[in-house]
Amino acid sequence: MCIDSLYFNDDGTIQTVVQTKNSVKPVGEAPEAEISAYYAASVSTTGGGAEVTGGSGAEAVVRGLDAEGAYCEFGGVDGGSGGRAALYIHYGTEEALAKLNLMVNGLDYTLINAPGTGSGEEAVGTASFTVRLQPGTQNTIRLTGGHGRIAVGGLSVSRFEE
């Protein structure tokens, strides 16, 4: 993929884009996301056929999310002073593309694409989405399955400094 510069005419219309092979130069290095909190699968509640397997520590994953209506829910998610945050869903799937429905505080956000990781046993993949969180620890994140075999290992939250 190549990203080219856009130039505008005086009337606000876009000039014809001249395609390049080099793209525009970056303005700097992208900063690493600072993870504010991590919520392991073992602290989630499950339903609809999903269950936590593999123990109570970091090796635990939620399985059974391929069933229609199966879910895992992370309660008490800390939104800091409130505002935007990036959610990083740690997962594993042998499917080419599994999906999870994301709900935040009862609001249906989107279907999250989870490209294949080669393993449904370990949470080696990461899918992310930006959401708006309420202040404090009153936030609830629900991941609902029914769109492919996928195992969820946990959820990381990175709050934006706004």
Q: Is the pTM of this model over 0.75?
A: yes
Would you state the pLDDT for residue 33? 65
- The predicted-structure confidence for 29-50, as pLDDT tens digits, reads as follows 766 667 889 999 999 999 999 9
- The predicted-structure confidence for 89-116, as pLDDT tens digits, reads as follows 999 999 999 999 999 999 999 999 999 9
CA atoms of 52 and 50, how far apart (whole Å): 7
- The predicted-structure confidence for 44-97, as pLDDT tens digits, reads as follows 999 999 999 987 666 899 999 999 999 999 999 999 999 999 999 999 999 999
CATH numbers and ranges of domains, the chain:
37-159 (2.60.120.260)
CA atoms within 13 A on the CB side of 54: 20
